[in-house]
Structure 1
Amino acid sequence: MPRWDLHRYRDEILTQTDLLRDLLAGADPTVHVPTCPEWNLGQLARHVGGAHRWVETIVRTRATEPVSDALVNDVFGYGDEDTVQLDAWLADGARRLADAFTDAGPDTRVWTVVPDQPLEFWARRMLFETVVHRADAARTLGVGHEIDAAVARDGLDEWMSFGTVPEAYDPGTDEPLLGAGRTLRWCAGDDPAGDWFVDLTGDVPRWRHGGDEAAVTVRGPVADLLLLVYGRPVDERTEVRGDRALLDLWLRRTGCWLHE
């Protein structure tokens, strides 16, 4: 369950989109994105804007069945386009998405990729779609960027919840995730509130804030912990102690359905 309200997610999506637009202003859209190797910067922007438009369609139409997500990865016809037009397109998509959330309100129910979730699910999902790809753009351009600690914590809460859906721990799809002694701890060295414990020893995964000794412990700045779960290269700023194979399996299983 998301911990913020719809209004806060809506505003943060607009903020993060503006920060991404600032990065892209004046940049060469054909520059290759190392963390998304199939894309250049223009295509990365198209991916983010396509995701915004996909969810806007779901919310605006009050969809109760899956809606085609072709827009999300339909980026390969682009990449050498006018950056002013691309900027306007990104801004327009984020604004339309924000307006759709406002018009719908928090009590509206629509189809969600994880079943039976409130509308905040999509607002949260689009926030972190934007946050992580802003980090990709910053890395590509060799410039610094920051992720607010409260934003990063909520992103990690979301990721922890991914591990509790049946697709993540179904023993028939991959190496079993559950088992004796299987625990993980995430510790943010720069954030006293940033501590998560994942328990895979029972019949279903469980997680909570606050930690105990675990089979594998990951430590680092809270923003880098968020980027780590999305597979971004932050090894030089994070430390993993214990069962790295368990960590890799958990990350793969929890993120198997994302567009990232």
Structure 2
Amino acid sequence: MSSEGDLEIIRAEGTRLADVAESAPHAVIEIYRWDLTGLVVHTGRVHRRTTEILSQRRTERISRPPAPETGIIEWFREGVEEMCTAIAETPEDVEVFTFGMGDRASFWLDRMLLETVVHRWDAENAAGEPSIIPTDLARRGIEEFSRMWAGLLAPHEKVTFEAEDSGDAWSLISEGDGSRLVPGKGTANITDTASNLYLWLMGRIGLDAPETVTAAIAGLSRPPN
């Protein structure tokens, strides 16, 4: 896959995650109740499984490899680089396991970009110094939410939200056993930055949404592991 800009973002976000975890290893992430050492272990294992899926062209779900008992931060940093190399060296149309999301290797670039960005935010937030998710990445995250998780939401009332920085808008509509996230402007129930809207959908922050929507998001299991 050829997207050096995205790979540089993964490297930078991974470096920031590791730096924060190294400086505040016992800070706790509220959503998972992990400390930052646990976050590094989780994210590093996800990265290394991705490397194995791509480098070995695995088409079935595999377990995340174990982390070492010592040297976690360095192990994580090395794993970020190994994963970026595997992504760069894998043609995007190669068939691999993707949680049923198209079975093409191109899935993993976006998934690991967003995985790393969100967990960087988790680390910073736990340490008391969260920075925003850049608007373009947040928009991509909202699009991924539409593909991967909207269909798993419990029933809720319709909500329309608009990103004040990008001008994008979406409606989250409950249908049958799931929901659809439909782009397009309407009367917005919620207006905020794309970063905050994405973090809200991912269960990281609260926004002034209808109670049924808040409950549906809170009850969602994510991301796939």
SS in 2 for 1:43: helix
Correspondent of 1:11 among 4, 8, 12: 8
Distance 1:164 1:40, change over 3 A: closer
2:26 corresponds to:
30
Contact 2:160 2:170 in 1 (8 A): yes
Q: How do residues 58-69 of structure 1 correspond to structure 2 at under 5 angstroms?
A: 58-69=53-64
- CA deviation profile, 1:149-172 (whole Å, cap 9, x unmatched): 11111111110112465xx27xxx
Greater C-alpha radius of gyration: 1
Deviations 1:28-52 (A, max 9, x none): 4233333321x21111111111110
What is the rounded CA distance, in whole Å, between the counterparts of 2:136 and 2:165 in structure 1? 12
Given the superposition, is the C-alpha separation of residues 86 and 201 from structure 1 closer, same or farther in structure 2, using an over 3 Å criterion?
closer
Higher mean C-alpha deviation, range 40-49 or range 12-21: 12-21
Q: Within 5 A, what are the aligned runs for 1:50-199?
A: 50-69=45-64, 71=65, 81=70, 85-163=71-149, 165=151, 168=152, 177=155, 182-192=157-167, 194-199=168-173
Match of 1:21 in 2: 18
Counterpart residue identity of residue 229, structure 1: L
Measure the CA separation in 1 of the matches of 2:2 and 2:30.
34
Deviation at 1:212, TM superposition (A): 2.1
Aligned residue identity for 1:34: E
Q: TM-score normalized by structure 2?
A: 0.84
Q: Residues 119-139 of structure 1: CA distance to partner in whole angstroms, max 9, x if unpaired?
A: 221221112221111111111
Q: 1:134 to 1:222 in 2, by over 3 A?
A: same
Cα contact 2:24–2:127 (8 A) shared by 1: no
Alpha carbons 1:66, 1:111 under 8 Å: kept = yes
Q: What is the root-mean-square deviation of aligned Cα atoms in Å?
A: 2.9
Q: Secondary structure at the match of 2:29?
A: coil
Q: How has the CA–CA distance of structure 1 residues 17 and 247 changed in structure 2, closer, same or farther, with 3 Å as cutoff?
A: same
SS at match of 1:239: coil
1:51-110 Cα offsets, whole Å, 9 max, x none, are 1001111111101111123x4xx67x85xx5xxx33321221011111111111212120
The separation in 2 between residues aligned to 1:112 and 1:144, in whole angstroms, is 30
Distance 1:183 1:91 in 2: 42
The offset of 1:7, in angstroms, is 4.1
SS of equivalent to 1:200: strand
Instruction: Please report how far the alpha carbon of residue 201 of structure 1 lies from its aligned counterpart in structure 2 after TM superposition.
Output: 4.7
Provide the aligned length of Structure 1 versus Structure 2: 225
Residue 246 and residue 5 in structure 1: after superposition, are their counterparts in 2 closer, same or farther (change >3 A)? farther
- TM-score, with length taken from structure 1: 0.74
Cα distance 1:160–1:247, how it changes in 2: closer, same or farther (>3 A)? Answer: farther
Gaps of at least 5 residues in structure 2 are none
Partner SS, residue 60 of structure 2 = coil
CA distance 1:190–1:225, change in 2 (3 Å): same
Q: Distance in 2 between matches of 1:256 and 1:28?
A: 27
Structure 1 unaligned residues grouped into runs of 5+: 170-174
The 1:50/1:161 distance shift into structure 2, 3 A limit, reads same
SS in structure 2 at match of 1:87: helix
Q: Give the equivalent residue in structure 2 for 1:208.
A: 182
Q: Report the equivalent of 1:45.
A: 40
